[in-house]
Structure formats: structure tokens, C-alpha cells
Amino acid sequence: MISTDSWAEFTQSAESPLAPAAQWKQTTGGKVIGHLLPDVPPEIIYAAGALPVALKGAGIPITRAQQHIPGYSCSHAMGLLELGLLDRLGDLDGVVIPYTCDTTRNLFHIWSQRFPNLKNEFLRLPKSVDYDPARAYAAAEFKRLFLSLCAFTDAEPDEAHLNSVIDIYEGARAKLRGLYHQAFDHPAEQRAKYLYAAIQAFSVMPIESFTQTLDQTAWGDAPAADNWIPIYIKGKIMDPPALPELFGELKLKIARDDLVDGYRMIETPAVDGPDPFLRLADRFRNTTPYAGYHIEPRAAAERFLARVKESSAAGVVFLNPQFCEAAGFDTPDFKKTLDGAGIPSLVLETSSRGVSMSRLRLRLEAFREMLEDN
């Protein structure tokens, strides 16, 4: 069983992601920098003296955003804009938007027009992650961001300090990886819910208090793990956010995911080295490529299949945000590759207009039955 008390702080952070930042700001008087996922290194923001807070737009009901961005945009982008327009991001002093797709490219411009008083940065990530010169370019870009944020916060740019901040974050990532694997080895109904809450908390809480809480947190005893079916989740973001709970209820255990607010955020350790920017560039390039990046096309499908097989998942759930071109183009070929290997898969599309949980449940139940029969 799980002692829910020890996880309460994480679930609260997941439910009110801006609350820890508001408190931190009040206590320290420091600046808060929000960042859209994926691949903005929080270490850069933290070492520049500000609090990094990951922002997610998925699951936000849209009432105003469509006046500034067309309704055929993904929920991630529309939701973020909505939060800003509703003044629910009032504690932010700046926002970093990464170049992952055409939508984030446009979102940056729209955002900058709407919120010109914030420190807005566009992180110019390379897309050819396997191409060797992408390493030097990514490192230079991380350095540019660091210097720009230091200038904003009046912090002295200190690369040694950045290196030590990377180590602190790495410690937390390693522990989260441990929890992730334990949750898989010893599944229990609420575990996925708490696990993803903890990963979410990692992306919004001050790292010291997160680590402190994490140190006091452990899974309790789990009942005998019978009848759980391992699945792989491929996609962008855990949307709707209640999905982990649903997976738990249906006894589907997550062998591996490559979501930007899931395992992908913690999967790759930054290896030691004197240059913090190269460390971050290497971590970025070694992380499972998100659909918006480019690797050799046949290798992309084969590497995906290898990851699925390695995870021992019995089936794959594609979690595709509606209007996401990056995910939409990959899915048919990747699904075909899985079919060829005899691995069943299910494609779910999420939307800024919301999805019906009961419909999702029905589809997942049917998928589970299929996996059982397989």
C-alpha cells in the first residue's frame, strides 16, 4: 500500500503547479521563469537565480485563446495562452518557449505580443539531433540562454555553479528513475498517479524542497502483482492528466513512456564534465527524440520498436494531441512497424476541447482485453 500523506505535497503541486512558485517568490523575492516542455534545461534557469516552472497547457478549457490563435492548434499551445490570458500565470517574470514545432515557433510570437512585459525567450534547439555539429550548436544555444537569463536576474554567470546545479538535478532525476522502475516492478492501483505527480512536482517545485520531500518518500508495500499488463505510452504529454489513475484502475502498468512530462524528463543522465553546456547538449541529444526532432527516418521507426521491446511492454498506447503534425506523421508508420512485430497498439487522440474519460475508459478496457487475449 501507499502512504498517501507522504505524496500529498507532490499531488498538490501537480494540481496547483504555480503554487510552489508563488510561495517561493514571496519568501525569496526571486524571479520565476516558466518554460514550455520539452527540453528547456531547468538547471540553466535555476543557476541564473530564478525558479524554473514547467508549464503545461493540456487539459485547460479554452474560452479566450481562440481569439489569438486558431482553434486548429494543439491543446498544449492553446492552454498555455489561455492560462496567460486568464491571468493565471501572474507570478511569472519570464517564459522560455522551445523550438519543437511550427506551433511553438508561432506561439512564441503570439505570446510575446500578448505579454510584452515578460522576459520572453525562444530556445533555438537543433532538430537533427544525431548530426554531430548539433552538439556544439546546442551547447552554444544553452550558453546564450544562460547569459541572457543572468543578465535579466542580475546574476553573475558562473559556469561552475551551473555545473553543481546540474548535479543537484541529476540526483533528483536518478531517484525518480528508481521510483519509476519500482512502480513498474511492484504495481498498485494508485502508483502511476503518484509517480506522475512526483515527476510533475519535480518540474515545478524548488529543487531543494523537492529533493527533501523526495528523500522522505518511498513506496509502501504493494499487493502481489498479479494480472497487470505492461504497456508503453508514446506521445507528447499525459493528457488528460487523470490518465495515470485510469491506467492503474485498469491494471495497465507503464513499462515505459516517452512523454515530455513523463519518463523522458528524467531518463537521461548528464554525464560528468567540465563544460556544463556540453553536458546539457549531450543529455539533450541522448534523450529519446521527441517527434518534433529528426533522425534518420528508418532508424526512427526501428529505434522505437527496440525501445518498446526492451521495455517488455505487451502493447503500445499512442497519445496524440489533436492538431500535432509531428506526432500525426509518425504514427501510421510506427504503428505498422509494431504490427509487423506482432505488438498491438491503440491510438488515442486528445484535444483542447477535452476528451470524455468514459470513452477513454471504454477504449482502454477493450485494448486491455485484446492484450490479455494476445
Partner 1 sequence: MQPIKTLGRLKRINIEYYGNAHQARQNGKFIAYVNAFTPVELLYAMDVIPVYPENHAAIIGARKQAPEVCEAAEGMGYSGDLCSYARCDLGSIRTGVSPTWGLPKPDLLVISNSQCGTLTKWFEVLSRHYNAPMFLIDVPHSGDGERDIAAESYVRGNLERLIRVVEGITGKPLDPDRLTESIRLSKEASDLWARVLETGAARPAPMTVFDQFISMAPIVAQRGTQVPVDFYGELLVELEDRVANGVGACSDERYRLFWDNLPIWPELRRLSEFLDSRGAALVASVYTWAWSRLAVNEEDPLTDWTNQYLYTANLHLNRRVDEYVEIAKKFQLDGFLYHSNRSCKYVSQDIPEVRRLVSSRTGAPGVILEADHNDSRSYTIERLEDQIGEFLGMLGSGKTRAGAVGPAPS
Binding site for ligand SF4 (CB under 6 A): 74, 76-77, 100-101, 103-104, 236, 292, 321, 324, 326-327
Based on its alpha-carbon atoms, the radius of gyration of the chain, rounded to whole angstroms, reads: 20
Determine if 108 is a binding residue for partner 1 (CB under 8 A).
Answer: yes
State the nearest-atom distance from the C-beta of 119 to partner 1, in Å: 12
Which range touches partner 1 (CB under 8 A), out of 23-31, 34-42, 245-253, 316-324? Answer: 316-324
**CB closer to partner 1, 106 vs 190:** 106
State the nearest-atom distance from the C-beta of 345 to partner 1, in Å: 11
**CB closer to ligand SF4, 277 vs 334:** 334
C-alpha cell at 325: 503534425
**CB closer to ligand SF4, 20 vs 289:** 289
Question: In the set 128, 182, 209, 286, which binds partner 1 (CB under 8 A)?
Answer: 128
Which of ligand SF4, partner 1, none does 189 bind, CB closer than 5 to 8 A by kind?
none
Determine if 312 is a binding residue for partner 1 (CB under 8 A).
Answer: no
Determine if 335 is a binding residue for partner 1 (CB under 8 A).
Answer: yes
With CA atoms as reference, report the closest residue to 20 among 45, 58, 53, 49: 53
State the nearest-atom distance from the C-beta of 324 to ligand SF4, in Å: 3
> What is the C-alpha separation between 19 and 183, in angstroms, rounded?
27
Which of partner 1, ligand SF4, none does 321 bind, CB closer than 5 to 8 A by kind?
ligand SF4
Determine if 317 is a binding residue for partner 1 (CB under 8 A).
Answer: no
In the block, cell 550558453 appears at 143
Three-class HEC string of the chain: CCCHHHHHHHHHHHHCCCHHHHHHHHHHCCEEEEEECCCCCHHHHHHCCEEEEEECCCCCCCCCHHHCCCCCCCHHHHHHHHHHHCCCCCCCCEEEEECCCHHHHHHHHHHHHHCCCCEEEEECCCCECCCCHHHHHHHHHHHHHHHHHHHHHCCCCCHHHHHHHHHHHHHHHHHHHHHHHHHHHCCCCCHHHHHHHHHHHHCCCCHHHHHHHHHCCCCCCCCCCCCCEEEEEEECCCCCCCHHHHHHHCCEEEEEECCCCCHHHCCCCCCCCCCHHHHHHHHHHHCCCCCCCECCHHHHHHHHHHHHHHHCCCEEEEEEECCCHHHHHHHHHHHHHHHHCCCCEEEEEECCCCCCHHHHHHHHHHHHHHHHHC
Which of partner 1, ligand SF4, none does 92 bind, CB closer than 5 to 8 A by kind?
none
State the nearest-atom distance from the C-beta of 299 to partner 1, in Å: 10
Determine if 352 is a binding residue for partner 1 (CB under 8 A).
Answer: no
Question: In the set 1, 140, 218, 306, which binds partner 1 (CB under 8 A)?
Answer: 140
Which of ligand SF4, partner 1, none does 331 bind, CB closer than 5 to 8 A by kind?
partner 1
- State whether the Cα torsion 21-141-83-241 is positive or negative: negative
State the nearest-atom distance from the C-beta of 70 to ligand SF4, in Å: 13
C-alpha cell at 129: 539531433
Q: Exposure of 353 by Cβ count < 10 A (0-12 exposed, 13-18 middle, 19+ buried)? A: exposed
Which of partner 1, ligand SF4, none does 76 bind, CB closer than 5 to 8 A by kind?
ligand SF4
- Site residues for partner 1, 39-78, by CB under 8 A, read 67-70, 72-73
Which of ligand SF4, partner 1, none does 99 bind, CB closer than 5 to 8 A by kind?
partner 1
Which of partner 1, ligand SF4, none does 236 bind, CB closer than 5 to 8 A by kind?
ligand SF4
Round to the nearest angstrom and report the end-to-end CA distance of the chain.
30
Which range touches partner 1 (CB under 8 A), out of 97-105, 183-191, 205-213, 357-365? Answer: 97-105
Determine if 333 is a binding residue for partner 1 (CB under 8 A).
Answer: yes
Binding site for partner 1 (CB under 8 A): 67-70, 72-73, 99, 101-103, 105-110, 112-113, 121-122, 124-128, 131, 133-134, 136-137, 140-141, 144, 291-292, 294, 296-298, 300-301, 320, 322-323, 325-326, 328-333, 335, 347, 349
